Amino acid sequence: MMVAKKSIKFIAILVLLMTTVSTFANEGGEDNQHHEKGNKVDTPEEIKEYIAHHLKDSHDFHLFSNNETGTHVSFPLPVIVWSSDGLRMFMSSEFHHDDNGHVIVEKDGVKLTKIHSKIYELEAGAEAVAFDEHHHAENAHKVLDLSITKSVFGMLIAGILMFLGFGALAKGYKKGPIPTGVGRVLEPLVLYVRDEIARPNIGEKKYMKFMPFLLTVFFFIWILNLLGLTPLGFNVTGQIAVTACLAIFTMIIYLTNGSKDFWMHTLWMPGVPYILRPILAVIELIGFVIIKPFSLLVRLFANMTAGHFVVMSLIALVILMKEAFGPVASTGVSLILALFITVIEILVAFLQAFIFTMLSSLFIGMAVEEHDHH
């Protein structure tokens, strides 16, 4: 199946570019002081900080902590940075806390520190981080961070699953008109994207050209959304760098494939007074270059982040309601509510992938449409 083969190429490009962009735009979360000290998280402010920390990207997977002993269960990820003295690679587990509580690692004569999950290089001769009154590092500067963060790791997993799935589908079509195995599961979804999203919005003549991109975006977002519901704590589509990258890809595709009629109606709209045409051209360009991509990225980012926040907040009811209703009742209520919202989030995972793909196909269809001139 030609669409499946082309989709594999789009997957490779998408994962490569998004891996690079998201590492450049990695914002990271607050270093969780409660994890470091082994203190309990039991107040509304601490719970809110804890949830915000786990919704953001990080350089390792933190699974859980033992508040009694202060030990942590986690596994590290590769840290890849370009410092003033060249490339440095090591595992995130090598970061350790100095006497002042700062996270420091020394690699080949270069001292690196992690502040709010961002990696900085200490100036020559500095032994510790010095902060100003606004808590900004005075003797450290940012490095080019190309690390395999938690979000990048999630995208690589999604990419591998898509390679395997589409590869199995393509091999299945070589054997006969009806695929088997995993291909039989994927085929209805591929046909759904083709018949319910691409064909109605782009048109019979041109929809096949954009099917690889639409299939890649749909399955990429859907798989990442489902990974976000696992205990590993992925929140890839809740990172604005990732959703912005997806929206930019859509913008590039519909702008570079725009028809002559599209650009004529955008830059020199017929049927209106000449004095208004430059003004309308600016408005149209702002809509296609800024507003439409912004609506795509914000919708996906906000919905997925809000869903994760709600689930974790409901789980936190165990702590907040324990004194009023007892541990058994609070755990039961929290578990039921969290399970209910999680089931809804499974539907939302598919719905957000569908909406993003639908709007992308709609914008592409608007750009490639040919108008009849009488």
pLDDT at 266: 85
pLDDT for 18: 46
pLDDT tens per residue across all 374 residues of the chain = 555 555 555 555 544 444 433 433 433 333 444 444 445 666 777 777 777 777 788 888 777 666 565 566 678 889 999 888 888 888 888 877 665 556 788 887 788 888 777 888 888 777 777 777 777 777 788 888 889 999 999 999 999 999 999 988 888 888 877 787 788 889 999 999 999 999 999 989 899 999 999 999 999 999 999 998 887 778 899 899 999 999 999 999 999 998 888 898 888 888 888 898 899 999 999 999 999 999 999 999 998 888 888 887 777 777 777 766 777 677 777 788 878 888 888 899 999 999 999 999 999 999 998 765 54
Find out whether 42 and 319 touch, Cβ atoms under 8 Å.
Answer: yes
Q: What is the count of structural domains for the chain?
A: 2
User: How far is Cα 310 from Cα 360, in angstroms, rounded to an integer?
Assistant: 28
| DSSP character at residue 117 | T
Q: How far apart (Å, rounded) are the C-alpha atoms in residues 135 and 242? A: 28
Of 148, 174, 195, which residue is a domain's last? 148
Q: Domain ends where: 148, 171, 189?
A: 148
Q: Are residues 260 and 125 in the same domain?
A: no
Read off the tokens for 17.
């570019």
- Out of 85, 120, 148, a domain closes at 148
pTM summary value? 0.81
Q: What is the pLDDT of residue 212?
A: 93
pLDDT at 372: 59
CB 138 within 8 A of CB 48: no
C-alpha pair distances (Å), 217 with each of 20, 77, 112, 208, 229: 17, 26, 36, 15, 19
Range of the domain at 127: 27-148
373 in a structural domain:
no
- Give the pair of three-digit tokens for residue 84: 């003033």
Indicate whether 199 and 250 sit together in one domain. yes
> What pLDDT, on the 0 to 100 scale, is given for residue 30?
37
Q: Do 49 and 106 have their domain in common?
A: yes
Q: Are residues 157 and 280 in the same domain?
A: yes
Same domain, 113 and 161: no
Residue 374, in any domain of the structure: no
Check: CB of residue 264 under 8 Å from CB of residue 284. no
Mark whether 160 and 224 lie in a shared domain.
yes
Residues 317, 336: one domain? yes
What six digits make up the tokens of 40?
Answer: 């309990």
Query: In terms of domains, do 265 and 286 share one?
Result: yes
User: CA-to-CA distance for 104 and 119, rounded, in angstroms?
Assistant: 10
Residues 54 and 195 in one domain: no
Whether residues 288 and 243 fall in one domain: yes
CB of 161 closer than 8 Å to CB of 223:
yes
- Please give the pLDDT value at position 264: 86
Q: Quick one: 348 and 330 in the same domain?
A: yes
Domain membership flag for residue 109: yes
For residues 93 and 158, membership in a common domain is answered with: no
